[in-house]
Amino acid sequence: MINRVVLVGRLTKDPDLRYTPSGAAVARFTLAVNRTFSNAQGEREADFINCTVWRKQAENTANFLKKGSLAGVEGRIQTGSYEGQDGKRVYTTEVVADSVQFLEPKSANSGSGDRSNDRSYGQQPSYQQNQPSSPSQQNNTRVDDDPFSSGSGKIEVSDDDLPF
């Protein structure tokens, strides 16, 4: 049996970080995930998916993500139920995240206004591509440098060599 989910979307509000009585961190947030198709009116709709993440990932999520942040979530779907105040059974569905990825550089969500509430992305990777400083440092294969050109013609491949 497999229960895996991978989502990419934007947070609808800042994550809610709390601690259990035993001291474990838990963060809850809702991810707005666009559907891949349009409705009858030609509009794109989104699903709002409740997510929960635990321990260090919860603290990192609360510290580095905020409303509007683009995030990737990998985890599992968990269902549950409880008795509501009116005595009726309430059913819940959420994604319990094993991993939350911050998909934007740190400057993407920081406005030009008050910086006192700005959250730094810490050690997140830079999203700038490193360009070589000279053409000789580029790692490209030129057409006239074909590594197979010195071969003797046909390349023999048996069925045992194929990965499928």
pLDDT value at residue 137: 42
Range of the domain at 38: 3-100
164 domain-assigned = no
How far apart (Å, rounded) are the C-alpha atoms in residues 123 and 105? 11
If we measure between CA atoms, which residue out of 32, 81, 72 comes closest to residue 53? 72
The count of domains in the chain is 1
Per-residue pLDDT of 6-55, as tens digits, reads 999 999 999 999 999 999 999 999 999 999 988 889 888 999 999 999 99
140 domain-assigned = no
Q: Indicate the helix (H) or strand (E) that contains 148.
A: none
Per-residue pLDDT of 117-145, as tens digits, reads 443 333 333 333 333 444 444 444 444 55
For the domain that residue 69 is a member of, what is the CATH number?
Answer: 2.40.50.140
